Amino acid sequence: MMIFRLTAKLAKKIGLDPLPVLPCDKGKDPLRDWNAHLFTVQRTQYILVTNTESLYSLVMPGRGITTDRQFIQSVRTSLQAFVTGQGHHLKGTKDLLPQDRETFFSKINNRRILGSMNDFIFQSRFRLEEGQQKLFDVSFYLNETPMSYLKYRSPKDVFQQLLLQEGESSSQAHRADNVIYLSKVRPTAPKGKGGV
């Protein structure tokens, strides 16, 4: 299951206003729970997409996105390109936002996350108004920023940890039941020194 938690402004833009409030299942499926916020810089619309647990974020264009399908597809392609471009390997996960997952939309219900997103938007505006940085560069900067919500860890580090956990759980789920897996092998004693 995928959840996108939207601000009222963004929900209205893509025709989903009003939205219900879905509870946060913290830790259950952290890579599938995201928030999104619409903002404007010099008459150009942008969307900030932020992972609920890690605050890992992406700034992407908002122009031309007027439906929920367009929003999902744009997030999927932009986030996949950004994540792989940063050198993250999705261990055991073919797609960060799989197309076969049922998608739900909700209001953002966590003020601390919304506050962190507002901080990111402030930083993004400053960098985009200069006109010298590309969106991926702005996103990279945001993800390097230590955040109090994360006990002063960076979103990049926390997100990398989530990806590793996803890869480990995925590889364990694919092990066959009729095979014995050895995690450690004790060396046998050499012949002539207690060996057979």
The mean per-residue pLDDT over the stretch 160-182 comes to 63
What percent of the chain stands above pLDDT 70? Answer: 79
38 in Cβ contact with 9 (< 8 Å): yes
Sheet containing 103-107: order of strands: 57-61, 44-51, 33-41, 2-6, 103-107
Q: How far apart are the first and last CA of the chain?
A: 56
Q: Which residue has the higher pLDDT, 143 or 167?
A: 143
- pLDDT tens-digit map of 31-67: 899 999 999 999 999 999 999 999 999 999 999 999 9
**pLDDT at position 165:** 85
Q: Which residue has the higher pLDDT, 89 or 129?
A: 129
Q: Dihedral sign for Cα 21, 140, 170, 98, please.
A: positive
**pLDDT at position 158:** 96
Average pLDDT in the chain: 84
**pLDDT at position 92:** 37
3-state helix, strand, coil in the chain (%, to 5): 40, 15, 40
Of 183, 31, 160, 169, nearest to 92 by C-alpha is 169
- pLDDT tens-digit map of 90-135: 543 445 777 777 899 999 989 999 999 999 999 999 999 877 789 9
**pLDDT at position 52:** 95
Of 74, 67, 57, 80, nearest to 10 by C-alpha is 67
The mean per-residue pLDDT over the stretch 6-20 comes to 95
Q: Enter the tokens of residue 54.
A: 């890690």
**pLDDT at position 185:** 43
Q: CB neighbours (10 Å) of residue 150?
A: 16
Q: Where do the domains of the chain lie, and which CATH numbers do they carry?
A: 2-173 (3.30.420)
Of 180, 52, 31, 175, nearest to 109 by C-alpha is 52
CB environment 177-187: b (16+ within 10 A), e (fewer): eeeeeeeeeee
Angle at which helices 155-173 and 135-144 cross, to 10°:
90
97 in Cβ contact with 78 (< 8 Å): no
**pLDDT at position 190:** 55
Q: Coil, strand, or helix at residue 188?
A: coil
